[in-house]
Structure 1
Amino acid sequence: MKTTPCPCESGLPFARCCGPLLAGESTAATAEALMRSRYTAFTRRDAAYLLRTWHDSTRPATLDLDEDPAPKWIGLKVLSRGQPDGNNAQVEFLARYRVGGRARRLHENSRFVREDGLWYYVDGDIDGGTAEGEARQ
């Protein structure tokens, strides 16, 4: 039986990594696990999961993932992670994707908060959307 690798590039199969999180069968144990599952949700265009894991203080009312042309997510690299206390964390990552055949990247330093034992995405500082090879500001 062939296992599908998780899009978050954890090295685990989807069924043992982000799959149970997206299905609501488990919750992220760490901010990094939540960030990885949110990346996977973007690859699957799962707006419901993204909204469910977005902190209510910054969550948009709706999330439209029906861009045309749709981005094809092709890679994730976690650059750093930190947790200054038990309920706040940050994860810096670089996500690569293609739009209309052109390679692009999204570099974000995301902030997370834990409330009632659950991690939520709050917001992030984005240096992204640049084409591969373009000079970064």
Structure 2
Amino acid sequence: MRIVAATDSDYEFIREHDHHIAEHLILPKIRGNEIYILQNEDGSIIGWMRYGYFWDNTPFLNMIWIDEAYRSKGLGKEAVLFWEDEMKKQGFQGVMTSTMANEEAQHFYRRLGYRDAGCLLLEDEPLEILLTKTLASKGG
């Protein structure tokens, strides 16, 4: 799998597939290098991940999606670890994400070293679990 920063040419793909982002925010996030495209060996798109910042200072992984045919092959782990490394290169010491309590993703993140940090309860939604991870310093 190749992981590359999204470019303007990926706008239509993101607009058509990521239904959890306001359309007018897609290009600014692409241009801010906050969306990565996951590609198969032949260059075809098999997924994406998108992040922002919690409190404007902590990288927060908002979305990771991998085509069903490519799931359970370690690609999600590879993608998250890539993102964590990118955040470490930018000088961040920790990252965050969240998942709903009724989703299996919570176990995926815990296996990657994320720890429960709190929750959010919105009307008519399952409990949202906030997860954090301290990034190991270089050499540690």
Asked if Structure 1 and Structure 2 have the same fold, meaning a TM-score greater than 0.5 normalized by the shorter chain, the answer is no
Q: Which has the higher contact order (CA 8 A, sep 6+)?
A: 1
Structure with the bigger percentage of strand: 1
Structure with the bigger percentage of helix: 2
